[in-house]
Chains A and B, each alone.
Chain A
Amino acid sequence: MSEDIQAGLAEILEEVAGVSPADATPEKSFTEDLDVDSLSMVEIATEVENKFGVAIPDDELANIKTVGDAITFIQKNRG
């Protein structure tokens, strides 16, 4: 199940920020390893909601530092 989420998230990262899917692994930091800026993080959150039906509130978004954090959040909140 988390593999599905990881793959879906990788697709979003590639589309929005040009991150190669092979690089979108759980330990990677969005800002430090993947060079994703703050506006792109907002766009990623929007795409996550479109794809997984999981809204990420702004205060939660600030706590999502790595790809793994995002996978965990989606997993926990997906209906």
Chain B
Amino acid sequence: MSTNDDVVVTGLGATTPLGGDVASTWEALLAGRSGISRITDDWVAEFPAQLVARMAVDPAEKLDRVRARRLDRSQQAAVVAAEEAWRSSGAADAGVDPERIAVVIGTGIGGALTLLGQDDVLEEKGPKKVSPFTIPMLMPNGPAAAVGLAVGAKGGVHAPVSACASGAEAIRWGLDLIRFDRADVVLVGGAEACVHPLPMAGFAAMRAMSTRNDEPERASRPFDKGRDGFVLGEGAAALVLERGDAARARGATIHARLAGAGATADGYDLVAPHPEGEGAGRAIRAALRDAGLTQADVGHVNAHATSTPVGDTAEAAAIRGALGEHVLVTATKSQTGHLLGAAGALEAVFTILALRDQIVPATANLDDPDDDAAVQALDIVRREPRRASFSAAVNDSFGFGGHNIALVFTTA
């Protein structure tokens, strides 16, 4: 293994429906708390799906007021999560040349709140009243650009967009940037904040969202027979990646190794997953090969499992086929909701913390596992977190468009 293949995680950050930082989010996850609630705004009355997982702490509260007003909510979340990851890594004090620092932050939708809010201004008040910050606030590279400015990155700022795989794709790009020696330190992650009537109506029109409006905390139920769709979440998560030798030399805390990544496309349908999870399984196998591991080495999977009827069974088949039946599976969207372009990054953080603490969070609301053969065969952790001993873990992420990303993390 060449030096550049040893890529480690030295910083973690998050702002989520469960908490305003990594520690509070992880604590709430293990305690089984839900970040999901019912929308009470007047506009929601005619909506079939009325549930949402809003950030527990308004990211604007953590930023200087003037800075916050020039950032879309997705950018605010990205900056809050990235600054936590950056601080915790200690990279800022390590004297890294800014031209060797890169940023990769993905988003599924970008600055939807700004786009739609300024469209209202345009309709009601005319073009002269549209904010001059409209474009920088709505562009999908905005979260990456805002984070790049926040940490002074001059080695490249990138913004992968692959729907709900964007956050995981950003992590894979970061891995490659270090392996190809394009940067020494890469701040990676995902951000999303699009709780607004239009995306809610669009996802509802696809019949993709849960309509269990009277039971918010029980609505997101991956792998359960009663699942009826995902719950829209918002937030951001970020990781600091760097070369293992450099991190050890400066005495950094190493949370885990990012051992490998795999990316595939379904080539099947624009939005429907392949029913047997063919592309998803190939992504997991590719990630294992990349990491130089076999399925027996993997002890845990943080599944993408969004609680949609077809997606969860397709993924179960992929996991069973690529990793076998011994892995401990969890689906943390049962408590966080689905953070779209931030989901892969947040679940990577959870995967790393599971490795660090040797504990697998429970899948909430999995009362009655689906009759599907793969779901029945898998060991899906439920009711309470399970302690276990494992040195490698996989995180799956999939996005509309047929994008599949699998990441493999190993103990530091």
Which residues of A pack against B, CB within 8 Å? Answer: 16-18, 39-40, 42-43, 46
Contacts and interface: CB of A to CB of B under 8 A. Distances in A.
B66 A46 contact: no
A39 B133 contact: yes
B133 A18 contact: no
Contacts of A17: 66
Interface of B: 64-66, 128-129, 131-133, 136
Contacts of A42: 132
A43 B66 contact: no
Nearest to A39: B132
B64 A43 contact: no
A42 B132 CA distance: 7
Nearest to A46: B129
A56 B136 CA distance: 23
Contacts of B132: 39-40, 42-43
A40 B131 CA distance: 9
A16 B131 CA distance: 11
Contacts of A46: 128-129
A43 B65 contact: no
Contacts, number: 15
Given A17-B66, A18-B66, A43 B129 contact: no
Contacts of B64: 18
B155 to A, nearest CB: 24
Contacts of A18: 64-66
B126 to A, nearest CB: 11
Given A39-B132, A46-B129, 13 more contacts: A16-B66, A17-B66, A18-B64, A18-B65, A18-B66, A39-B133, A39-B136, A40-B132, A42-B132, A43-B131, A43-B132, A43-B133, A46-B128
Nearest to A38: B132
A24 to B, nearest CB: 14
| Residues of A contacting B: mostly | helix
A39 B70 CA distance: 10
Contacts of B133: 39, 43
A3 to B, nearest CB: 25
| B64, B65, B132, most chain A CB atoms within 10 A | B132
A16 B67 CA distance: 10
Contacts of B129: 46
Nearest to B65: A18
A16 B132 CA distance: 12
15 contacts: A16-B66, A17-B66, A18-B64, A18-B65, A18-B66, A39-B132, A39-B133, A39-B136, A40-B132, A42-B132, A43-B131, A43-B132, A43-B133, A46-B128, A46-B129
Contacts of B136: 39
A16 B133 CA distance: 11
7 closest cross-chain pairs (CB), A and B? A18-B66, A42-B132, A39-B132, A43-B132, A39-B133, A17-B66, A46-B129
A60 to B, nearest CB: 15
A1 to B, nearest CB: 27
Nearest to A43: B132
A42 to B, nearest CB: 4
A39 B131 CA distance: 9
A9 B129 CA distance: 18
A16 to B, nearest CB: 8
Nearest to B134: A39
B285 to A, nearest CB: 48
A22 to B, nearest CB: 16
Contacts of B131: 43
B64 to A, nearest CB: 7
A25 B128 CA distance: 28
B67 to A, nearest CB: 8
A17 B64 CA distance: 11
A64 to B, nearest CB: 16
A10 to B, nearest CB: 15
Contacts of B66: 16-18
A17 B65 CA distance: 9
Nearest to B67: A18
Contacts of B65: 18
